[in-house]
Structure 1
Amino acid sequence: MNSQITTTSSHTKQLVTMALMTAVLCILAPLSIPIPVSPVPISLTNLVLYIGIYILGTHRLLGSYIVYLLLGICGLPVFSGFSGGLGKLAGPTGGYLAGFLFLILISGFFMSRSEGRFRLALQAFGLILGSAAMYLFGTMWLCFQMHLSFVDGLFVGVIPYLPGDTVKIILALIVGPLLQKRLARFLIQQ
């Protein structure tokens, strides 16, 4: 009986942590900075996801992000610029929203396998590779929507964001493990 209570308590804590991550996405993702050369704004979504990989792991973060997407598709203003609705997903920046799924899956794959001497290098590689997949998917959709060549799409939807994303990845590599350790204690405690 006691182990059943402990298991239920652990599941409840995990669900609460997932709900909190969804809430953080809903609060921080709409905060965006439009840039003149692109329809794609600078957003904190990828930073939240980079850190979320540490906190939740792949499957729970994926579930949390899908709930966020569904809230936005239903019309809640949780996407960049406080927008929502299916039109946002079908518009020029919708490929990046879908591409974040690849970021989660690829980054999470490398996070779950990072151990030993090369732990930090594998984590950084996973975040970079996941970001590259997100950018590839997002840029292809942007090019399709705006009738751009792939090279033009890179200059509109990727290159202006690389310095900021480098900073976000470095920040996640520092903050992520710290939050992971602190929340692991919370999830283990009864």
Structure 2
Amino acid sequence: MQQTKTLHYVLAALGAAIIAVLAQLSIPLPFSPVPITGQTFAIGLVVTILGLRTGSLSVLLYILIGAAGAPVFSQMTGGLGIVVGPTGGYIVGFLPTAIIMGYYMNKLGYTYWHSLIANLIGMVVTLAFGTVWLKIAADLTWYKAFMGGVYPFIPLGIVKAALAAWLGIVVRNRLKSARLLSEVA
């Protein structure tokens, strides 16, 4: 039992580290206050691999580490100011995204198609949280918040969701075959 708990926490920490590393893949957009980042891909990948419990713990750990000031958010930023700033809604939305995705896959199965659907749902949840927050924090109209916080991210978001689903299922199946995931996810 203790070994299982330890493995659960180690995997959660590794998941948070994966999110932090992939968050640094960032492309600023001249027409949007929100950059294209690897964070959403990383969230989908980690939750697809680790499942509801461990994947959500990874995301929570990532958010807490970043809010505490470690430069783990995109463009090597961190701190509570980022979380409550105009793009903080995306970060806050990562946790409900992880929970909804993990719950969906736990109920319907860890297959590529279910993972793809879960990742697409996750993209919508993250974009919804981020856009509402962006509208309020930056005092934008709904149109400007949508055009700057959703519209430019849809095509690449679909690609990231498909890639996270495919790679996540491949890695998850290999970890299960190696008996590294059997009791924790």
TM-score (ref. length: structure 1):
0.88
CA deviation after TM superposition for structure 1 residue 120, in Å: 4.0
* Higher Cα Rg, which structure: 1
Residues 1:48 and 2:42 are matched in the alignment = yes
Corresponding residue of 2:87: 93
Residues 1:155 and 2:147 are matched in the alignment = yes
Partners of 2:109 and 2:19 lie apart in 1 by: 28
List per-residue Cα deviations over 1:58-88 (Å, max 9, x = no partner).
1211111111111111111111111111110
Unaligned ranges ≥5, structure 2? none
SS at match of 2:34: strand
Root-mean-square deviation over aligned CA pairs: 1.8
CA deviation after TM superposition for structure 1 residue 90, in Å: 1.0
Q: What number of residue pairs does the alignment pair up?
A: 181
Corresponding residue of 2:164: 172
SS at match of 2:74: coil
Unaligned ranges ≥5, structure 1? 1-6
What is the identity percentage for the equivalent residue pairs of Structure 1 and Structure 2? 35
Matches within 5 A, 1:74-113: 74-113=68-107
Residues 1:68 and 2:54 are matched in the alignment = no
List per-residue Cα deviations over 1:29-70 (Å, max 9, x = no partner).
133111101111111111111111122111211111111111
CA deviation after TM superposition for structure 1 residue 123, in Å: 2.8
Counterpart AA for 1:111: M
Q: 1:28 aligns with which of 4, 8, 22?
A: 22
Partners of 2:174 and 2:87 lie apart in 1 by: 35
Partners of 2:179 and 2:112 lie apart in 1 by: 24
SS at match of 1:36: coil
